[in-house]
Amino acid sequence: MLRSPRHFGVWCLLVFAPSFAKNVTWSNIGYRVNKTGEIMDAHDGSYNQWTPGGPWYYYAMGYGTCKQGQDMCHGCGYGYSWIGVWRSPDMSNNSWTLLRDARDGTWPKCTYFRVHVVYNIKTQLYVLWVNLNGGPADYAVGTSAHPEGPFQFVNAVDVGRKSGGDFDILVDDDGSGYIIYTATELGHTMTVERLTEDFLASAASSSQVPNFSLMPQSAAVVLAQQSNVSSGVFGLEFVEAPVFFKRNGIYYALFGNCCCFCGHGSGIGVYTASSPLGPFAYHDNIGCLANTTLSQGCGCGMVHKVGTTTCNFYGQSLTKAQQNFVIRIPQPGGKPDQFVWTGDMWQSAADGIKAHDRQYWSVLRFENVGGIELPMQFTWEDTIEISVN
Helix (H), strand (E), coil (C) string for 96-141: EEEEEECECCCCCCCEEEEEEEEEECCCCEEEEEEEEECCCCCEEE
Contact 201, 219 (CB under 8 A): no
Confidence at residue 217, expressed as pLDDT on a 0 to 100 scale: 53
Contact 242, 222 (CB under 8 A): no
Q: Which CATH number fits domain 6-388: 2.115.10.20, 3.40.50.300, 1.10.3720.10, 3.30.300.130?
A: 2.115.10.20
Residues in the chain, how many?
Answer: 389
CA dist 345 and 323 (Å) reads 9
For the chain, the first-to-last Cα distance in angstroms comes to: 18
CA dist 152 and 167 (Å) reads 21
Residue 220 DSSP SS3? helix
Q: Domain ranges for the chain, please list them.
A: 6-388
Name the β-bridge partners of 139. Answer: 131, 157
Q: What value does the CA radius of gyration of the chain take, rounded to a whole number of Å?
A: 20
Strand (E) or helix (H) holding 16: helix 10-16
Confidence at residue 134, expressed as pLDDT on a 0 to 100 scale: 83
CA dist 320 and 17 (Å) reads 36
Burial (Cβ within 10 Å: 0-12, 13-18, ≥19) of residue 66 = middle
Confidence at residue 205, expressed as pLDDT on a 0 to 100 scale: 85
Burial (Cβ within 10 Å: 0-12, 13-18, ≥19) of residue 242 = buried
Contact 68, 76 (CB under 8 A): yes
The DSSP result for 150-211, as a single string, is PBEEEEEE--SSSSEEEEEEEE-TTS-EEEEEEETTTTSEEEEEEBPTTSSSBGGGSTTS--
From the first residue on, what is the mean pLDDT of each consecutive set of 10 residues in the chain (389 residues)?
A: 41 44 93 96 97 96 90 82 97 96 94 97 98 92 98 96 94 98 92 97 70 51 67 89 97 92 89 96 86 63 64 76 96 92 96 96 97 95 94
CA dist 376 and 243 (Å) reads 16
Going by the DSSP 8-state scheme, the letter that residue 378 receives in this structure is P
Confidence at residue 13, expressed as pLDDT on a 0 to 100 scale: 37
Residue 190 has phi, psi (to 5 degrees) of -105, 145
Confidence at residue 6, expressed as pLDDT on a 0 to 100 scale: 47
Contact 102, 148 (CB under 8 A): no
Strand (E) or helix (H) holding 282: strand 281-285
Please choose, from the candidates 88, 81, 61, the residue with its C-alpha nearest in 3D space to the C-alpha of residue 147. Answer: 88
